[in-house]
Amino acid sequence: MTTLKHIVMWKLHEHAEGADKATNVRLMKDKLLACAQLSSGTLRFEVVTAQEAHAQGLEATYDIVLFSEFTDKAALDAYAEHPQHVALKGFIGAIRESRQCMDWES
């Protein structure tokens, strides 16, 4: 079965929206996890922070990463276009320094 993987990585500003980076990482993770069930075609939805990676002795070059897997592009689109996800983009846009994204089928 072919699935669609969606990975997004963000670097956050040291201070944004009246909070420091650590606070915004926690807020962003909570807000992303609240989106895990927005599409019925979501197969996997993981949010990992650099703090978690460092605690395990691993290297991290981004502050927060989303790894998700969907049944197909329509399922990813349903997630991306859901009003809850769309509303989250404003917050993330205000706190992020940079963003990288990649989707692929396998």
Q: What is the pLDDT of residues 48-102, one digit of tens each?
A: 999 998 889 999 999 999 999 999 999 999 999 999 999 999 999 999 999 999 9
CATH 3.30.70.100 fits 4-105, yes or no: yes
Bridge partners for 104 per DSSP: 5
Domain ranges of the chain: 4-105
Supply the pTM of this predicted model.
0.94
Mean pLDDT of 2-21: 98
Residues near 31 by beta carbon (within 8 Å), at least 6 away in sequence: 88, 91
Residues near 78 by beta carbon (within 8 Å), at least 6 away in sequence: 38, 39, 40, 41
The pair phi, psi for residue 58, each rounded to 5°, is -105, 155
